[in-house]
Amino acid sequence: MIIFRYLCREILSATTAVCVILLLVLMSGRFVKYLAKAVAGDMESSVIFAMIGYRIPGFLELTLPLAFFLAVLLSFGRLHIQNEMSVLKACGISEKRLMGYTLVLAMFFAVITAWLSLSVAPSGMAKAEALQQAEKQRSELDKLMPKKFYSLSGGKGVTYAEGVTEDRELDEVFLAMAVGSEEESNRSLVLVLAEKGRQKQAEGASADAPERYLVLDKGYRIEGIPGQNNYQITYFEEYGSRLKDSKPIDKAPKTDAIATQTLLDSDDLELQATLQWRLSIPLLVIVVTLLAVPLSRTNNRQGRFGKLLPAIVLYFTYLVSLNAMRGAIESGSVPVSVTMLPVHFVYLSLALVLLRSGRPKKPRIVMSATDDGVQA
């Protein structure tokens, strides 16, 4: 039990450290992407952390098996380098017994990964996708920020507001639009200055694709061709300009955001491939544990990290093979009944071969007869 606790402490601490590092790398990349969208006005800054929070279970689903695999490699590699493995063997604790202890931990992480893959990650992806769809439905006025010029109507105009209230009402609005086709050399320029502005939805418009207008109060409309002096100046009490239509809501969610129960009840090849992928992640944890133990065998000349790079390459080869099998099931080139078990069987066989090849051979005693007697 002391050896089991010692091994658990080593592997769990290494798994936590590696998982945190990998998670920070993935989250930072996603954060930069969302931050760029927020700066461009395509996403509200208040939903950035919510989007990242909903994506964390999906990140853990992929980082946890890799973190555990690297933790087993590093922990067993340290036992070999510091000759602790030799001491344990001399005390009657074989590598097979240590691997049994490690498989207990692997089962624990496989259960956690299965929970993330089958339940938590799809739910988080569904919520993140709902936020993305809500962001697509935002009009140009919803994206407008105070004291900043913003492209309007697909780049055909520019708008500016000195202030924006919580109700999305604008103060001191400036609007510039080009009238006419892009092929025309003398297109008219329309400038609008208004004291107030607000958004208004057209009556009878569809809820999925509403027609929105920017309604301006008390201002001036100036129209003319740049370089000429025949400008028309009009004072208005109310002026309306149609906003760019928002993108329609995508009714069909991504497969990664569909609940597992829905995948079980579906006969669609793409959904069945997604289900097989989710079931393969927990099995991946068990198989890579069996691979990590023989791959961690090293000596002082090779160093603790001597076999780390080949092991990582083998891990990603395993992952790519599973992804390729998923694509083959989706395309119909491989029957759904085959599942992804052949890929797991190949790497499980490789793990068993590596385990068997590294076992120390028993010494042979050769008896020979001489004139002085029998000698060993």
Residue 175 and residue 194: Cα distance in Å, rounded?
9
Mapped onto helix, strand or coil, the DSSP state of residue 268 is coil
HSE-CB of 247 using CA atoms within 13 angstroms: 10
pTM of the full structure: 0.73
Amino acid in the structure at residue 18: V
In the structure encoding, which two tokens stand for residue 329, read together?
Answer: 């099931």
Tens-level pLDDT at each residue, the chain (376 residues): 788 888 888 899 999 999 999 999 999 988 998 888 877 667 777 788 888 999 999 999 989 999 999 999 888 888 778 777 777 778 777 778 888 888 999 999 999 999 999 999 999 998 888 888 777 766 666 666 777 777 765 566 788 888 887 777 888 888 887 776 655 566 788 888 888 888 777 665 555 556 777 788 888 888 888 777 778 888 888 887 776 655 555 556 678 888 888 888 888 888 888 999 999 999 999 999 999 888 888 766 665 666 788 888 999 999 999 999 988 888 888 888 778 889 999 999 999 998 887 554 444 444 455 555 545 5
Q: What is the DSSP letter of 10?
A: H
* Bridge partner residues of 190 (DSSP): 177, 223
Domain boundaries, the chain: 2-136+251-357, 150-242
Beta-bridge mates of residue 196: 171, 217
114-120's contacts with Cβ under 8 Å and 24+ in sequence apart are 114/281, 114/282, 116/57, 116/60, 116/61, 116/64, 117/61, 117/278, 117/279, 117/281, 117/282, 118/260, 118/278, 118/279, 119/260, 120/57
| Closest of 272, 252, 281, 266 to residue 330, by C-alpha | 272
